[in-house]
Copies of this chain bind each other. A is one copy, B any other.
């Protein structure tokens, strides 16, 4: 005998497909949805369908948006001569939450990873080069993740872009604020030492 009735099992399976949602969480969420009001459950389902329907990639920067170009590319008060290169659309939101950056973005849609078969042609690198050449870009800030793939991608991009005559920078690497030397890993500490500044 199946433990769950069909519709419940279907809902639990669908929720279980989400990242970070194990079988226990999926069950908890499913029961929450069953207990919630019809309006609430409807809103959840409809927002999924609407997002999937309306959201697309910005044709300029690759940001996820429901208008094209996206709100950031379309904002004339932003500095159009600086591009911050990120791996994923969600990285843009992290920068925007921080609020200190007023330039534009470019989403690579991944990082170089030969082991996973991701080469330069699989990333939005051609599009980046075209933008640099056409839009009189002055500075490209590379903000790929500080891991093996991200670092390789940054090195590749730097080699490719510098000859175009633009300034290429990368996010500083070192000790995170609020951390403790005692718990720093060696790679981070080495990067912090290497990047030490006079004060």
Measured CB to CB, the residues of A under 8 A from B are 1-8, 10-11, 13-15, 17-21, 25, 27-34, 36, 38, 40-55, 64-67, 70-71, 75, 88-90, 93, 96-97
Contact = CB atoms under 8 A, between A and B. Distances in A.
Contact of A66 (B6, B51, B53, B89): B6
Contacts of A96: 3
> Which label, helix, strand, loop or mixed, suits the secondary structure of the A interface?
helix
Count this chain's copies in the assembly. Answer: 2
Contact of A10 (B6, B11, B25, B47): B47
Given A10-B50, A10-B51, A66-B6, A17 B40 contact: yes
A28 B20 contact: yes
Interface centre among A20, A45, A71 (most CB of B within 10 A): A45
